[in-house]
Chains A and B, each alone.
Chain A
């Protein structure tokens, strides 16, 4: 059994090769021929189909990607009850056996990677490169957590006549409440972590991406996860809330907005009748991610890095750059170059390989982001709008938002404090780096942050002062990779857990220390 040293990230496709692009395009055509998909409630291998919910192509709302059933309260109860029973047998299997199941699942994902990426392209408007990276990250989680599980626990002091061991045991039913923005990787990561440590999982995917989650669950079952140990409950907020409140749910793994996350933390803290253990919440929430640009930064690097961090996938990543704080000496130049670069972005359908900014996930998101754009003007800032969708795009059919820069906002402006989750980034001029750090420190969020400087001393000073969970130096601030960049925020951005990091599995287990007296009649036996 390997101890984690053999892990290597699944390589993304080299899309510079026309052959790879053709392969993906063919996979999308094959998928389109099968639409709409049907996503059932799946409990103990039993499916209940329904058409209560629809997931639409964000770029073309006339296209239904999937219809899905909406899980009700009784189904939540049944799923948890089944999971609790099936989970016991699952927990009794050796860790290595469960890790092997995850490895098999990883292989299935590798085989189907083009089809899975196509699904993310259609259901979530993830541009190809990002969709492919999402598949790779899902594969990485399956392999990485499998390997890390072997490394759980360590040696304890062993005096004569006393045998000590520390074991980590499954906690029980884990509710996974997943977001749509990494529709494969994030549900897969949370689910894999819970499963490998012996916990049964009830997965509630985002209502915007049930088809991605359903395919993932199918592959996990095919790889050997018992039917009862993994349930799929498509639905909206109520299904998630019912899971959170359920007395027999032991762990809640959540990734999503700060509002929902804080609500989960609050409700999970309340002991309900029938509950026998404290619920543990692993929450990965929002950010207001800042990039600090020192005067000695190389703007040739800064501009593309900010552009990519703020606008790739239309800024719909919790790690996306949201505020740029730049020293006054280079501010005018950076603003001018950013504004110029903004106009070169390609806004278009996710399936085009040139697309930088796809449609945003749904109408409500489009309206929310447009409200923020209006707020920039209301707050006295200057809104620099980037291009609209490519000329041949039927604008009315998609949730299109023009990427934009907000300049000259006063410190109290709403945009500087609230998460937008869209292609909108502000640039603030600061007198010096201390002023920048003070503004960053005033924020309650601390997920990702960036520093651009060519002076190592400046870099160290800024890194030391930043509260963020993930700090990036002289590069973009998104694209954390499993094992290489354990991911997760501090402060109100999360519970401090690191997805894809060496300690992540500890959140899904209960420790048990066992001490045995090995002395019999004065002899150590």
Chain B
């Protein structure tokens, strides 16, 4: 697959990387997470496992005592504990202090979760959305939910989606205009932007019969798409693991091909760069993208299910469908970035990465092709890319914050994925947190 524009020179990528680094608040990247604590956890696999498992179960605990019992039992799995955790463990064992430890630990988990989760529901998110807008950032709202196992649960989720569209419309209606966020070269951009998940939209789980899954998902998605069109909102279908990849793609592409949706709503899908066949997926997206009036928004991500895919493949004796390491994914990401940017205006492109190099590369490729950043969107995750968001906004670029909304129990799977990302030793976040220089951070993968 050859791009029609030439590749941006490394020198330009480096220059943009430095521009962004200079625009960082306090000249540092990262979210608000306590880096010391993360380091200590990341350095000890047993402790990491114990704490992840606690984070997963804590919100479901029925009492503080039960939370303490979990914490103590999980810490007991580790051979030896670093000082502070040994002290916690000791307190959790004693009947008198156990509830206090339970309360403290649960509080800590909630506090951490609140960095990644915007609010309990869409209505409660209104003020935060306005604040982000005021700071120069658009949002993508993601309704966290348990996996739907029944039609009733999927119906409830669909109703939440409809409600979220109304809430988003209301939240954004009165806000002042922001040219960079309100339009790109192809026309006006919806302010209300809702991301939905297939695993919540349908209880059908048939990795081998994707058409079965997408039929059911489309049935629930149609009323949501209609309402999004009426309100002028954007509707995005998220990607999950490979088990549902085909169903997600066919749901989106088939629904958007229905005559009723030829002129709207604005819609989008996700391209996961870690998949070794991402290029073929993009081929399919590009075929469809040209057939509709609103450009298809493609959010390019690295992919959040790497561990899952590798484990699943290894357990089955298959070659993993994902790139074997971060560098290979990063290289694929850049190649896909170029293909996507070169495919405009049939697609709108959202670069969703916290990797300074990946972001600088996208901006450089856009600029190299004569762009001024107007037809490029950058997305960050709430709580993980706060400093990058500020820098991007300061540089006058369009940045959208992906904001999960929902209760903590439902948010656990999301939270654990984010924590994994934060504590992976080969992650970009880890490298930059440990003081890698800007030159190192923007070096070609």
Contact = CB atoms under 8 A, between A and B. Distances in A.
A357 to B, nearest CB: 13
Chain B binding surface, main DSSP class = helix
Given A304-B205, A346-B212, A11 B150 contact: no
Interface in A1-56: 8-12, 14-16, 18, 21
B433 interface: no
A299 B204 CA distance: 17
A300 to B, nearest CB: 5
Interface in B55-107: 56-57, 60-62, 66, 69-70, 73-74, 76-77
B149 A341 contact: yes
A108 interface: no
Contacts of A457: 69, 73, 76
A354 interface: yes
Contact of B208 (A339, A343, A344, A353): A353
Nearest to A128: B208
B76 A10 contact: no
A456 interface: yes
B57 A455 contact: yes
B243 A340 contact: no
Given A304-B149, A455-B70, A354 B206 contact: yes
B208 A296 contact: no
Given A455-B73, A456-B74, A16 B149 contact: no
30 contacts: A8-B317, A9-B317, A10-B317, A11-B316, A11-B318, A14-B318, A15-B207, A15-B208, A16-B242, A16-B245, A296-B70, A298-B56, A303-B149, A304-B205, A329-B62, A340-B152, A341-B150, A343-B150, A344-B204, A346-B206, A346-B212, A353-B206, A353-B208, A454-B60, A455-B57, A455-B73, A456-B77, A457-B69, A457-B73, A457-B76
Contacts of B245: 16
Nearest to A302: B149
A16 B247 CA distance: 10
A295 interface: yes
B344 interface: no
Contacts of A10: 317
A337 interface: yes
Interface of A: 8-12, 14-16, 18, 21, 128-129, 295-296, 298-300, 303-304, 307, 329, 337, 339-341, 343-344, 346, 352-354, 454-458
A302 B61 CA distance: 17
A296 B149 contact: no
Nearest to B50: A456
A129 B73 contact: no
Contacts of B149: 300, 303-304, 307, 337, 340-341, 344
Given A296-B70, A455-B57, A11 B317 contact: yes
Closest 4 A/B residue pairs (Cβ): A340-B150, A11-B317, A354-B209, A457-B73
Contacts of B77: 456
Nearest to A129: B208
A106 B201 CA distance: 43
Contacts of A354: 206, 208-209, 212
A114 to B, nearest CB: 15
Nearest to B203: A344
A9 B314 CA distance: 11
B355 to A, nearest CB: 29
A303 B149 CA distance: 7
A307 B245 CA distance: 22
Contact of A296 (B60, B152, B206): B60
Interface string B117-161: 000000000000000000000000000001101111100000000
Contacts of A458: 73
Given A11-B318, A343-B150, 6 more contacts: A10-B317, A304-B205, A340-B151, A353-B208, A354-B212, A456-B77
Contacts of A11: 316-318
B246 interface: yes
Contacts of B246: 16, 18
Nearest to A354: B209
Nearest to B54: A454
Contacts of A456: 73-74, 76-77
A242 to B, nearest CB: 41
A326 B428 CA distance: 43
Contacts of B56: 298, 454
B53 interface: yes
A352 B209 contact: yes
A9 B207 CA distance: 22
A14 B316 contact: yes
Nearest to B67: A296
Contacts of B152: 340
A158 B150 CA distance: 66
A337 B147 contact: no
Contacts of A352: 209
Contacts of B243: 16
A343 B150 CA distance: 7
A455 B92 CA distance: 14
Given A8-B317, A454-B56, A16 B205 contact: no
Contacts of A296: 57, 60-62, 66, 70
A216 to B, nearest CB: 22
A128 to B, nearest CB: 7
B317 to A, nearest CB: 3
Interface string B201-245: 001111111001000000000000000000000000000001101
Contacts of A307: 149
B92 to A, nearest CB: 12
B60 A298 contact: yes
A336 B212 CA distance: 24
B147 A300 contact: yes
Contacts of A129: 208
B151 A344 contact: yes
Contacts of A303: 149
| Best-surrounded residue of A15, A307, A341, A343 (most CB of chain B within 10 A) | A341
A470 to B, nearest CB: 17
Contacts of A298: 56-57, 60
Contact of B153 (A16, A340, A346, A455): A340
B203 A340 contact: yes
Nearest to A337: B149
A295 B73 CA distance: 16
Contacts of B204: 344
Interface string B240-272: 001101100000000000000000000000000
Contacts of B212: 346, 354
A10 B208 CA distance: 19
Given A340-B151, A340-B152, A454 B318 contact: no
A18 B249 CA distance: 14
Contacts of A340: 149-153, 203
| Best-surrounded residue of A16, A21, A295, A352 (most CB of chain B within 10 A) | A16
B410 to A, nearest CB: 9
A298 B70 CA distance: 14
Contacts of B318: 11, 14
A257 B224 CA distance: 52
A137 B439 CA distance: 53
| Best-surrounded residue of A12, A346, A456 (most CB of chain B within 10 A) | A456
A11 B318 CA distance: 7
| Best-surrounded residue of B149, B207, B242 (most CB of chain A within 10 A) | B149
| Best-surrounded residue of B56, B66, B69, B70 (most CB of chain A within 10 A) | B70
| Best-surrounded residue of B73, B74, B207, B318 (most CB of chain A within 10 A) | B73
A354 B66 CA distance: 41
B53 A454 contact: yes
Nearest to A21: B208
B379 to A, nearest CB: 27
Contacts of B146: 299-300
A341 B203 contact: yes
Contacts of A454: 53, 56-57, 60, 70
A12 B150 contact: no
A8 B318 CA distance: 12
